[in-house]
């Protein structure tokens, strides 16, 4: 039986009214329904949830009948997206742990290596709680009577700020290796401590990340890098020897990578735009430079840059599927570095107007701080952005070497 907690610190005014409407509509249709997971966890921690998830006894098809305009998505984990105004509420059906004696075909859901390939065996709320990943994510909130349902001592772990897997960590990581990255991301993001058995099972399970589709790995790493605690999460990736698995081309983390992670965390804290492409550009920068230098010394330098970038990104794609928009971003940031270093007078204005200039400039600043380029170069690009057009032209003209006046030879007098 779950522990029902009426005395808690969930601020009702922070709960999405749209999510509550979804809960109410499903209950009106006689389905057991609650808010669940990260939104409940964050509310209890005094944080503002990014989104709200709902768990219900209704199957996806039954949810669709209640909300005809909802969308059924997913194959591995079938869920329903219900749009209420501008919000999308994710609705999932209570699941249960897949066992070898389950009435459904076990082989259709679990691969030989133990990885769950489909998770669509439905159950009740008790079974649903025990198949969730972490205890702090298995808390259910009932908006009707303002109570929290706790089946796995999640409130206790929330109080001690402990990240604990439900069940046997070795088995749970084997079922879904992405839980390794979730454990690291949430531990860093929430400033929690990994429970001992949850922690010790990570490194031995690391190789199983190779079984995860590359697109899914990118999605999870994107969340990790954009969490606002990327620097701390990266330290944990290093601690558990996961970098060489995820980024085999860049297992030797540099100060440049650390600086890029710190810069991204700072920008998120200041609510400035960020992109995972910036961190990926830093992670693979040394590999890009090595590839560029390995190409023949003859030939068009620009073509060599494109070839080097394409090779490095394609190699990384075997592990992590980098979307095209981020791959193009990385390529542009890398290519612009040489142009920023050369400072050819006629290229200065086009560079300042380039759509990737700001990102390339920020990357140059990180390289200057790490002694890859002269600090004066970065300072020059910093200053020129503060000048008006006339002053900019004067600074650009100063780059051109002064032509020496040719001395005329005196005319020879005829004898």
Active-site residue set: 51, 53, 133
Q: Which two tokens stand for residue 347?
A: 């290229």
From the list 280, 279, 282, 311, the residue with the least C-alpha distance to 294 is: 311
Angle (CA) 373 374 379, round 5°:
110
Angle (CA) 355 361 365, round 5°:
165
Distance CA 74, CA 115 (A): 17
Q: Which two tokens stand for residue 355?
A: 């759509």
Q: Which two tokens stand for residue 286?
A: 């040394």
Based on the number of CB atoms within 10 Å of its own CB, is 369 exposed (0-12), middle (13-18) or buried (19 or more)?
middle
Give CA separation, 264 vs 231, 251, 290, 326, 345, in Å: 9, 20, 25, 15, 31
Pure H helices in 243-300: 243-246, 255-269, 276-283, 285-294
Q: Under a CB-based contact definition with an 8 Å cutoff, are residues 292 and 284 in contact?
A: no
- φ/ψ (deg, to 5) at 264: -65, -45
Helix axes 324-342, 357-369, angle to 10 degrees: 60
């Amino acid at each position: 039986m779950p522990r029902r907690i009426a005395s808690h610190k969930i601020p009702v005014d922070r709960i999405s009214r749209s999510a509550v409407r979804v809960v109410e509509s499903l209950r009106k249709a006689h389905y057991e329904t609650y808010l669940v997971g990260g939104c409940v966890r964050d509310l209890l921690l005094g944080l503002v949830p990014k989104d709200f998830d709902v768990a219900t006894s209704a199957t996806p098809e039954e949810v669709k009948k209640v909300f005809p305009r909802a969308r059924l998505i997913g194959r591995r984990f079938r869920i329903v997206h219900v749009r209420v105004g501008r919000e999308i509420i994710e609705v999932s059906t209570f699941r249960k742990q897949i066992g070898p004696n389950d009435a459904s075909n076990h082989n259709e859901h679990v691969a030989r290596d133990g990885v769950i390939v489909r998770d669509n065996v439905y159950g009740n709320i008790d079974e649903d709680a025990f198949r969730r990943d972490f205890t702090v994510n298995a808390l259910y909130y009932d908006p009707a009577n303002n109570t929290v349902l706790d089946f796995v001592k999640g409130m206790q772990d929330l109080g001690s700020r402990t990240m604990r897997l439900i069940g046997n960590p070795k088995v749970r990581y084997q079922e879904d290796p992405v839980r390794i990255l979730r454990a690291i991301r949430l531990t860093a993001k929430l400033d929690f401590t990994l429970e001992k058995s949850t922690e010790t099972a990570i490194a031995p399970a690391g190789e199983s990340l190779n079984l995860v589709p590359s697109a899914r790995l990118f999605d999870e790493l994107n969340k990790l890098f954009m969490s606002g605690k990327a620097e701390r999460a990266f330290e944990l990736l290093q601690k558990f020897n996961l970098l060489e698995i995820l980024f085999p081309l860049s297992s030797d983390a540099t100060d440049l990578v650390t600086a890029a992670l710190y810069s991204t965390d700072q920008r998120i804290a200041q609510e400035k735009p960020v992109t995972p492409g910036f961190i990926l550009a830093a992670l693979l920068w040394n590999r890009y430079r090595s590839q560029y230098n390995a190409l023949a010394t003859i030939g068009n330098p620009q073509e060599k840059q494109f070839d080097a970038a394409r090779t490095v990104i394609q190699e990384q794609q075997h592990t992590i599927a980098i979307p095209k928009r981020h791959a193009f971003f990385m390529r542009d940031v890398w290519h612009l570095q040489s142009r920023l270093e050369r400072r050819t007078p006629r290229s200065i204005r086009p560079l300042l107007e380039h759509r990737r200039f700001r990102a390339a400039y920020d990357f140059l600043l990180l390289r200057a701080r790490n002694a890859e380029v002269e600090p004066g170069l970065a300072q020059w690009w910093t200053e020129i952005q503060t000048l008006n057009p006339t002053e900019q032209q004067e600074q650009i003209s100063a780059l051109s070497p002064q032509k020496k006046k040719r001395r005329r030879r005196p005319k020879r007098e005829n004898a």
